[in-house]
């Protein structure tokens, strides 16, 4: 009777146990998370508040390539570059844009915005030296 230690093969070497990790469940979970985040994420370029633009018959919009876009809400909120600002900061940003490459101002006002807010933005633009003015409308 020959005694061999346990775990030794025919040649006297230890057998290696190869551990295999099954990656299929991990890949399935990562794929499901990816689908979940793609379906629930919102990819839209909207201002920080809702603006309902008035309709116009003439849809030929002349947009300035280097114009600053100011958004006006129906409650008198101002927005520039997708950020809500107050009137003092709006004037500072318009003056800074006038010192840069901007050549004019494009106003996106809500259909229910009081006229005084549009006139105030026009006054800020004129005091900063931005002479070209566009009023954007919905289609």
- Per-residue pLDDT of 34-48, as tens digits, reads 999 888 887 666 556
Q: What is the CATH number of the domain that holds 119?
A: 3.30.420.270
Instruction: Indicate whether 117 belongs to any domain.
Output: yes
The pLDDT, as a whole number, for residue 34 is 94
Euclidean distance between CA atoms 118 and 15, whole angstroms:
83
Instruction: Indicate whether 108 belongs to any domain.
Output: yes
Instruction: Indicate whether 57 belongs to any domain.
Output: no
User: Domain total for the chain?
Assistant: 1
Q: How confident is the model at residue 64 (pLDDT cuts 50, 70, 90)?
A: very low
Alpha carbons within 13 angstroms on the beta-carbon side of residue 40 total 6
Instruction: Indicate whether 61 belongs to any domain.
Output: no
* Structure token pair of residue 55: 């309709």
Region of residue 136 (left: phi > 0; alpha: psi -120 to 50; beta: else)? beta
What is the per-residue pLDDT across 70-108, written as a single tens digit (0 to 9) for each?
888 888 889 987 788 988 898 898 888 888 887 788 888
Instruction: Indicate whether 25 belongs to any domain.
Output: no
34: three-class secondary structure by DSSP = helix
Instruction: Indicate whether 38 belongs to any domain.
Output: no
Domain of residue 122, residue span: 67-135
Tokens 């709006």, residue located? 90
């Amino acid at each position: 009777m020959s005694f061999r230690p346990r775990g030794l093969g025919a040649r006297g070497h230890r057998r290696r146990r190869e551990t295999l990790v099954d990656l299929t469940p991990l890949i399935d979970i990562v794929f499901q998370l990816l689908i979940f985040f793609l379906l629930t994420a919102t990819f839209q370029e909207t201002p920080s508040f809702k603006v309902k633009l008035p309709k116009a018959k003439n849809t030929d919009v002349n947009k300035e390539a280097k114009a600053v876009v100011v958004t006006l809400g129906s409650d008198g909120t101002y927005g520039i570059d997708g950020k809500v600002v107050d009137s003092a900061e709006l004037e500072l940003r318009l003056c800074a844009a006038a010192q840069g490459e901007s050549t004019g101002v494009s106003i996106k006002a809500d259909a229910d915005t009081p006229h005084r807010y549009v006139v105030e933005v026009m006054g800020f633009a004129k005091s900063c030296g931005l002479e070209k003015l566009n009023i954007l409308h919905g289609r």
